[in-house]
Amino acid sequence: MTTFSFYIYIFIYLFSHTHFSFPFNHKKMTISLPILDLSKYQLDQPDSASSKEFLKELYDAMSEVGFFYICNHGVPLELQQKSFDSIKSFFKLPIEQKLEIELKKSPHFRGYSKLNSETTDYKQDNREQIDLGRDQPTVPIENNPTYAHLRGPNQWPRQIPGFKETITELMDSMAEIGLIILNAMARVLEFNQEEFMSLFGKDYGVRCKLIRYPALNNPIDKPLDHGLGVGPHKDTGFLALLLQDEIGGLQVQAQNGQWLDAEPIPDTFIVNIGEILERLTRQTFVATTHRVINKSLENYADRFSIPLFLSPSLETKIPQIDLNTATKRKIVSDVKQDQLLQDEIYGVNELGGFIRSHKETADTWYYLNQEQNQWQRKPLITP
Ligand SMILES: O=C(O)CCC(=O)C(=O)O
Ligand SMILES: [Fe+2]
């Protein structure tokens, strides 16, 4: 999409939806995903009428599908558009150039994964992507838990001017919004603010993906027939924030197991709950299962999206807190048990997730110590 057509799209959208009844699903007449106005929440005045209204809406959104939109978030449209332009330019590069920053080169699981090289729910995903995180120094192999190697530097493409700056600015802005929502969630859940936020000390985790989903009828990329851009899964972290373009394809599994379309709404972010919040609240709030389907579209229009994942520091032992304000939810999910949170320590889960998804990278840098049933770093081979 060019910048011009992006604005035309927003213009047409706003004129065709006089109020935000979207994404009410007319075909299936099912639950709609709520839209929350983030500007109502005043961080410094959490007891104001406006903040309270936001918190009530947030509680409802978290208790229902656990997936919602936020509008009036403060991230400029220009930055959103510039970010999409940058990632589109990257994915257009010849494959040899994209592979210069291949994920396999990074023990920190940062970099480019080519189409179909990632696995979710035992299937190859129909997407290509760049994985990023906070740019951090590497840690020595000795005397560090294996998951500590998830920290490290990013691999940035050299070909697209301003790529790193634009994407870093977007990631920072999204993380900032994520932290505001986190703060609001802590209030909603009546957690001790300090205790809750201490899970997110200065070393909290930020991970991000820049993704391209080729159309199902794309004659060049020919996605696999199962038609899943990414298979059913729950996000491992605490919450995810997603910027998606106008194509659509993201689907959310409702409490009754039915799949709902999370239709694109211009200038909004989608927020969803991850597994940490599920464990922390003993399943009072459930991480929502979701997937992306590749659509068959005229002109083989590809879909682009940018999810950002916020999580506690890798070392955090995830506590379990009893909430007396809500009841446990029944969980209907297509995700298999062995694909879910397995360990009390957050980093073990995040590492496990990357290892399941990226076998080649995992085998390059890690091995399974059978005796200890633990993944460990292979020693570095010096030439
Ligand atoms: O691209 C999307 O819309 C969602 C991606 C996603 O769920 C993920 O990468 O965890
Ligand atoms: Fe996800």
CA of 235 to the centre of ligand 1 (A): 9
Per-residue exposure over 162-176, b if at least 16 CB sit within 10 Å of its own CB, e if not = ebbebbbbbbebbbe
**Exposure on the CB side of residue 228, measured as CA atoms within 13 A:** 16
- Ligand 1 pocket, 281 CB below 6 A? no
On whether the CB atoms of residues 326 and 66 are closer than 8 A, the answer is no
Q: What is the CATH number of the domain that holds 108?
A: 2.60.120.330
- Answer yes or no: is 28 within a domain: yes
Does residue 197 form part of some domain? yes
Tokens linked to 95: 């494959």
Question: Which residues lie closer than 8 Å to 376 by C-beta, 6 or more apart?
Answer: 146, 366, 367, 368, 369
Closest CA to 76 of 174, 150, 196, 201: 174
Residue 291, ligand 1, Cβ within 6 A: no
Kindly give the number of the ligand 1 atom that is closest to the alpha carbon of 290. Answer: 7
CA–centroid distance, residue 288 to ligand 2 (Å):
9
User: Would 10 be classed as within a structural domain?
Assistant: no
Does the residue 5 lie in any domain? no
How many A from CA of 57 to the centre of ligand 2?
23
Residue-level pLDDT at 120: 87
In the chain, how many domains are there? Answer: 1
Pairing of strands 303-311, 205-213: antiparallel
Ligand 1 contacts CB of residue 292 (under 6 A): yes
Query: In this structure, is residue 262 part of a structural domain?
Result: yes
CA distance 214 to 283: 35
The verdict on residue 130 lying in a domain is yes
Residue 212's beta-bridge partner residues?
128, 304
Residue 254 domain flag: yes
Residue 166 Cβ < 6 Å to ligand 1:
no
Measure the CA–CA gap between 195 and 320, rounded to whole angstroms: 12
pLDDT score for 25: 38
Residue 19: predicted pLDDT:
33
Inter-residue contact 332 to 356 (CB < 8 Å): no
Please report whether residue 310 resides in a domain: yes
Chunked in runs of 10, what are the mean pLDDT values of the chain (383 residues)? Answer: 54 41 39 90 95 96 90 97 98 98 97 92 91 94 93 97 98 96 89 76 90 93 89 92 97 88 96 90 87 91 97 88 64 74 86 92 95 89 60
Per the structure, the complete domain to which residue 104 belongs is given by: 19-377
CA separation for the pair 121, 357 (Å, rounded)? 9
**In angstroms, how far is the first alpha carbon of the chain from the final one?**
46
pLDDT given for residue 16 in this prediction: 42
Ligand 1 pocket residue status of 209, Cβ below 6 Å: yes
Question: In a 3-state reduction of DSSP, which class is residue 295?
Answer: coil
pLDDT the model gives residue 243: 98
213 Cα nearest atom in ligand 1: 1
Confirm or reject: Cβ of 244 under 6 Å from ligand 1. yes
Retrieve residue 31's tokens: 């639950």
> What is the pLDDT at residue 3?
59
What confidence score (pLDDT) does residue 341 get? 73
